[in-house]
Amino acid sequence: MIRSYRESFNANFTAAKYEEFLQKADEGFPPIEFRLAETPVFIPNDLKALLIEAGDEVVNFIKKPGFKALTKKAIPFEWEVPFENSHPHFITLDFGITKDAEGKLMPKLIEMQGFPSLYGFQMHLSALYKEVFDLDPKLSPYFNGLTDASYMELLRKMIVGNHPPHQVVLMDLDVNKQKTAIDFYITAKHLGIKIIGLEDIFREENHICYRENGANVRIKRIYNRLIFDEVKDDFSLFKECFDPREIIDVEWMTHPNWFYRISKYTMPFLESKYVPESFFLHEVKTLPPDLENYVLKPLFSFAGMGVVIDVTEADIAAIEDPENWILQEKVQYEPVLQSPDGGVKAELRLMYVWPDGEEPMLAINLARLSRGKMIGVRYNKDFDWVGGTVGLMEP
């Protein structure tokens, strides 16, 4: 999007450089299970300013004193975890890049989560693009003047805190099988924390442990990467390890309830030029006449699962639990990134950290490129210049 960088990148791009980039991306780490795009996104200052403004509006809404009461029904009863803290430690906001009536770039909120994203991997990815493609060293994925060193120190403060690193665990289910496993390993490498599967954690009195070198190691803090949807309704696993919903002496980073509070459930409450119209389906009395300009989304799903893009009245009539769905104005992504053979659509994720006793801080970003109907692997299987990437900005 910054023309000078885009033209230079495209002119100097070679398949050999991209292959080198891919080889180095997971060198020393588990194989990457998702497609990496051929290019970063060069974010111009005017779009950067709009993204910051749009993000501020959403974060300020989350900070309002009544937010918890407003989102109480977002948490499924069977998944509510005790000892929820006063705010999320991580917030991610996904914005599709569109154009307004005047032809200017405009971010539109697509999705939001009170849950960690690829905070470690994005630092790694940015450095790799700059190295392999010989990009201007001043280009940065960070906001608020952060550098590699200050960003990593911020993550250390957030995730490890004052605890010994070996008593802080990054937790997910079947950790080595997760598509985001490379982020786990990069984070653990920099912070010294442990990567432990839920199935390898067990309860001992009122706290939890993992086993290492024949000894029980008490866990003081969980850097939680487990989305309960992965467990579904099969609670038998908890009988063999520990049940997160029980009262346990452990700190959550971030607490699981925030995954539900800051989600598609929040979208209908937001009013902003940066947010598409969104409605709880069970509250829609009359369907919009231009239904083709809306999408249907399940509240409690992730990675685009279950989204109906080309909505019909029959689709809506078939839904048995409309209270768990939203009807959302369709965002028309603009193919703003120029590849060698045409335009590519872009989505930018703003990634915030919120340390205890401080204000939320926009730290880094993630980008995804698409030529399909949606952003996501299964919609872009047969295309190039698509996939995961990062936005780079001038200071």
| CA–CA dist 62, 109 (Å, integer) | 15
| Order of strands across the sheet that contains 325-329 | 278-280, 325-329, 294-298
Q: Write down which residue in 297, 315, 330 finishes a domain.
A: 330
- Per-residue pLDDT, 32: 95
- Entry pTM: 0.95
CATH number at residue 167: 3.40.50.11290
| CA–CA dist 36, 182 (Å, integer) | 13
- φ, ψ (nearest 5 deg) of residue 177: -100, -5
Tell whether 268 and 388 lie within a shared domain. Answer: yes
Tell whether 131 and 264 lie within a shared domain. Answer: yes
Tell whether 376 and 358 lie within a shared domain. Answer: yes
- Per-residue pLDDT, 306: 83
Where do the DSSP E strands lie in the chain?
A: 41-42, 90-99, 105-113, 168-172, 194-197, 202-204, 207-212, 215-218, 221-224, 251-253, 278-280, 294-298, 325-329, 337-339, 342-353, 361-370, 387-389, 391-392
Q: Where are the alpha helices (DSSP H) in the chain?
A: 3-12, 15-25, 45-62, 67-70, 119-132, 148-155, 181-191, 236-240, 257-261, 313-317
- Per-residue pLDDT, 379: 61
Query: What's the domain range around 27?
Result: 1-146+259-276+333-395
Q: How far is CA 294 from CA 307, 308, 311, 312, in A?
A: 11, 9, 7, 10
In DSSP terms, 172 is beta-bridged to: 197
CA angle, residues 376, 380, 385, in degrees to nearest 5: 105
Tell whether 64 and 208 lie within a shared domain. Answer: no
Tell whether 289 and 172 lie within a shared domain. Answer: no
Tell whether 183 and 227 lie within a shared domain. Answer: yes
- Per-residue pLDDT, 82: 92
Q: Write down which residue in 330, 347, 374 finishes a domain.
A: 330
- Per-residue pLDDT, 299: 87
- Per-residue pLDDT, 302: 63
Tell whether 104 and 159 lie within a shared domain. Answer: no
Tell whether 289 and 347 lie within a shared domain. Answer: no
- Per-residue pLDDT, 374: 64
Are 361 and 374 spatial neighbours (Cβ–Cβ below 8 Å)? no
- Left (φ > 0), alpha (ψ -120 to 50) or beta: where does 251 sit? beta
- Per-residue pLDDT, 104: 93
Collapse the DSSP code of 344 into the 3-class scheme (helix H, G, I; strand E, B; otherwise coil) and give the result: strand
- Per-residue pLDDT, 238: 81
- Per-residue pLDDT, 373: 72
| CA–CA dist 182, 95 (Å, integer) | 24
Would you tell me how many other CB atoms lie within 10 Å of the CB of residue 45?
A: 10
CA angle, residues 53, 57, 58, in degrees to nearest 5: 120
Report how far apart the first and last C-alpha atoms of the chain are (Å, whole number): 16
Tell whether 180 and 63 lie within a shared domain. Answer: no
Q: What angle, rounded to 10 degrees, do the helices at 119-132 and 148-155 form? A: 160
Type of residue numbered 16: A
Q: Per the structure, how many domains does the chain have?
A: 3
- Ordered mean pLDDT values, 10 residues apiece, the chain (395 residues): 95 98 96 95 98 98 96 91 95 96 94 96 98 98 98 97 97 92 97 95 93 96 89 74 89 95 96 96 94 90 76 93 94 95 96 96 97 68 90 96
Tell whether 175 and 223 lie within a shared domain. Answer: yes
**Using only C-alpha atoms, what is the Rg of the chain?**
21
Tell whether 244 and 362 lie within a shared domain. Answer: no
Place of tokens 């070198």: 213
| CA–CA dist 274, 55 (Å, integer) | 9
Are 375 and 37 spatial neighbours (Cβ–Cβ below 8 Å)? no
Tell whether 102 and 76 lie within a shared domain. Answer: yes
- Which residues make Cβ contacts (< 8 Å) with residue 11, sequence separation at least 6? none
Q: How far is CA 395 from CA 34, 133, 151, in A?
A: 29, 19, 15
